[in-house]
Chain A
Amino acid sequence: MTELLQVKGLTKSFGSVHAVKSIDFSIQEGRCVALLGPNGAGKTTTIRMLTGLLAPTSGEVRFHSLARGEDHRSLIGYLPQTPAFHNGMSGMEYVVYSGRLCGLSASDARKRAMELLERVGLASAAKRRVGGYSGGMKQRLGLAQALVHHPKLLVMDEPVSALDPLGRREVLRLLQELKSETTVLFSTHVLHDAEELCDDVVIIRDGEVALQGSLAAIRNEHRRPVIELKLEDAPHAINWAQSFLQKSRTDELRYSWLSEAELQGNRLYMTASHMDVARQGLMEELTEHKVPFSRLEVGYSSLEDLFMKVVSG
């Protein structure tokens, strides 16, 4: 696997506001990478610096196939969050125009435009004015114009967050296909979209990289056994739970299998460090005190839990 590009110490300040603080990451060829983070984390700023629309305060974006400082715009296809076109043009005209701007000959541009419009499902609307397109259609036209010159890297800023559920489905399906053809980087604040499409994630928070790596590796590495215990509505049970929490905090040696515990109503949530030991320890506890419980569930923490923890903590 070869590296396509490397982002080194990328920083952007607007006056005294530090939107992006020295971000480092790299993108491997052929991967689909999500730039994940809550709103205002600096995702759009990072993407705009990547596309050359915004000059970084410091740091650099380096494509390995190019010499240092060489214009990398020809390698990138870009789809902004809400793409704006020249409204007087038709969809077909716009994609041909985009192709011509990227150096395609007139006939090549036409061929490619037809192929792409077909692909994104706009063939029947190709002759209509872009001004009359719906949000989902504009997004798909945006995708077509971004792909017109076979870019090495497709960059998208929140490609589906402004769309209704139907448009969202359509675009996600398209992206699912596209990611096998080119390297993709997109930003999103929705973990679910990232999980559905991506190989790698870069989670950013407050303009800094909080966590990055392949989705599979992150899932494995940060997976924790969790136990959920639902108690009967008996005072005996709740009393036990409270004293258990107390004890687990004081007698750390005996309860070393427990890394975190929380009581919510009659549910006790526990995060364990070792599943087997935890199961054993908890069972002993429960029989010893004759705790009346109605359900005991053992599972693993989801990526969502991790995302929430990383992003808020």
Chain B
Amino acid sequence: MNSASEAQYREQPAKRLRNAAIRRTGSSAFMTLLGKECLELLRSFKLVWVPIVFVVLGIMQPLLSYFMPVLIEKAGNMPEGTVIEMPPPVGSQVLADTLSQFGLMGLLILALAFMGIVSGERNSGASALVLVKPVSHTSYLLSKWVSMMILTWGSLLLGYAAAWYYTWLLIDFVDVGPFMLSYVLFGLWFTFVLTATLLFSTFLRSAAGAAFSSLGVAVLLSMLAGLMPKYMGWSPGALSGLAYQAVTSEVLLPLNSVSWWSIATAVIGIAVLLMGSVVLLKRAPAHD
């Protein structure tokens, strides 16, 4: 036992050096993996078409709100002189509508775009070639997650900013503070749902299964939070509602303690989903 511990003692410096070397390789390996993910986003044109779709969605909402009275007038075949009583659109409400549009179409598109991000490589065996190299499972997944987040937060910002600009031109000006706060809250909601997509993509073979499981979780959580705000107000599902409130309310930061809870549970949930993905990937880095 004495000699064993002595041997262990002698082994220490060498091991420390080696561990330092592994850590160094670790961070450069992460950057290499992230570079590859971004290259793939670019080559598959996701980096181009997803932001454009978000901008189009963002522009459409204010235009629709602005033209709605005209459209109804045209479609209604009203006799000459009929006066239509419609409340004039409010800028902040238009932005909230835009967010809810992003929450449906936008989230669906992103979940579908990322559904095969891990399962595709696991099914083909490409992940096996990466994970037999001295690369940690955490860097592998984190590189994918970061690339997802770059596209998600970027597209959301571009689309939402386009909506804000059009709303300003057509309807009225919305303060930057509420705009940014609602952007961050909504981005957090997207992050939560798409991290769930990553998790499902890690353990389901079917890409479609991953997309619809995570969207199912999203629908369930927001429905629960909407139906029972008292009991589920602390869940991440309340985030989208919170974002609408943030942009429509007069004063900045309408965050009460329950709201802070839903932010906290979302952040914790994202961390747990990521760790869960790592554990699942470690158990089976590649399908046969």
Instruction: Please say whether the chains A and B touch (CB closer than 8 A).
Output: yes
* B-contacting residues, A220-239, CB 8 Å: none
Within the complex, the shortest CB–CB distance from A47 to chain B, in Å, comes to 10
A88 touches B43 (CB 8 A): yes
A52's closest neighbor in chain B, by CB?
Answer: B132
Contact yes or no, B28 A100, CB < 8 A: yes
Interface residues of A in 18-73 (CB under 8 A from B): 44, 51-55, 67, 70-71, 73
Is the pair A83, B125 in contact by a Cβ cutoff of 8 Å? yes
Bound-state Cα–Cα, A88 to B134, Å: 23
Does A101 make an interface contact (CB < 8 A)?
Answer: yes
The answer to whether B32 and A97 have CB atoms under 8 Å apart is yes
CB closest chain-B residue, reference A50: B132
Residues of B within 8 A of A53 (CB): 128, 131-132, 285-286
Q: Mark B4-23, 1 if CB is under 8 A from A, else 0.
A: 00000001000100100110
Using Cβ atoms and an 8 Å threshold, which residues of chain B touch A145?
Answer: 129
Cβ contact within 8 Å between B134 and A85? no
Contact count A vs B, C-beta below 8 Å: 78
Number of interface residues of B (CB under 8 A): 33
* Set of chain A residues within 8 Å of B74, measured between Cβ atoms: none
Q: CB distance B283 to A55 under 8 Å?
A: yes
> Which chain B positions have C-beta within 8 A of A201?
none
| Known contacts A97-B36, A103-B29; A67/B134 CB under 8 A | no
Contact B129 A80 (CB under 8 A): yes
Contact indicator A74/B15 (Cβ below 8 Å):
no
Instruction: Tell me which of A67, A70, A85, A102 contacts B126 (CB under 8 A).
Output: A85
CB–CB B11/A86 < 8 A: no
Q: How far is the CA of A148 from the CA of B28 in the complex (A)?
A: 16
A78: chain B residues within 8 A (beta carbon): 128-129, 132
Q: How many angstroms between the C-alpha atoms of A88 and B46 in the bound complex?
A: 13
Q: Which of chain B's residues 31-55 have a Cβ closer than 8 Å to chain A?
A: 32-33, 36, 39-40, 43-44
Asked whether A103 lies within 8 Å of B129 as measured between CB atoms, the reply is no
| Minimal beta-carbon separation of A186 from chain B (angstroms) | 15
B286 contacts across to A, CB distance below 8 A: 53
Task: Report if B130 contacts A (CB, 8 A).
Answer: yes
Total number of A residues with any Cβ neighbor in B under 8 Å: 30
| Chain A residues within 8 Å of B40, by CB | 86, 88
Most buried by B among A44, A67, A82, A98: A67
Q: Could you tell me if A74 and B28 are in contact, using CB atoms closer than 8 angstroms? A: no
A84 on interface, CB distance cutoff 8 Å: yes
| Residue interface bits B125-147, CB-to-A below 8 A is 1, else 0 | 11011111111000000000000
User: Closest CB of chain B to A118's CB: distance in Å?
Assistant: 21
Chain A neighbourhood of B43, CB < 8 A: 88
Contact B32 A85 (CB under 8 A): no
Contact B129 A83 (CB under 8 A): yes
Cβ-based interface call for A76 (8 A): yes
Whether A102 lies near B25 (C-beta < 8 A) is yes
- B36 in contact with A86 (CB, 8 Å): yes
A78's nearest neighbour on chain B, judged by CB, is: B132
Does B249 have its Cβ within 8 Å of any Cβ on chain A?
Answer: no
Asked if A103 contacts B36 (CB within 8 A), the reply is: no
In-complex Cβ contact of A74 among B11, B32, B39, B134 (8 A): B134
Q: In the complex the two chains form, is B28's CB within 8 Å of A103's CB? A: yes
B132 touches A76 (CB 8 A): yes
Within 8 A of B (CB), among A131-155: 142, 145, 149
Q: Give the distance to chain B from A275, nearest Cβ to Cβ, in Å.
A: 48
Q: How far is the CB of B52 from chain A (nearest CB, A)?
A: 20
How far, in Å, is B229 (CB) from chain A's closest CB? Answer: 45
Tell me whether A84 and B126 are in contact (CB under 8 A).
yes
Chain A residue numbers with a CB within 8 Å of B133 are 73-74, 98, 101-102, 149
Beyond A74-B25, A88-B40, 20 additional contacts (C-beta under 8 Å) are A52-B132, A53-B128, A67-B11, A70-B18, A71-B134, A73-B132, A73-B133, A73-B134, A74-B22, A76-B132, A80-B125, A84-B124, A85-B129, A88-B39, A89-B36, A100-B28, A100-B32, A101-B32, A102-B25, A149-B133
B: which residues have CB within 8 A of A? Answer: 11, 15, 18, 21-22, 24-25, 28-29, 32-33, 36, 39-40, 43-44, 121, 124-126, 128-135, 283-286, 288
Q: List 21 A-B contacts (CB under 8 A).
A: A51-B132, A52-B131, A53-B128, A54-B284, A67-B11, A70-B18, A74-B22, A74-B25, A74-B133, A78-B132, A83-B129, A85-B129, A97-B32, A98-B129, A100-B32, A101-B29, A101-B33, A102-B133, A103-B21, A103-B29, A103-B134
Leading 10 A-B pairs by shortest Cβ distance? A103-B25, A84-B125, A100-B32, A74-B134, A84-B124, A78-B132, A84-B126, A101-B133, A88-B43, A73-B134
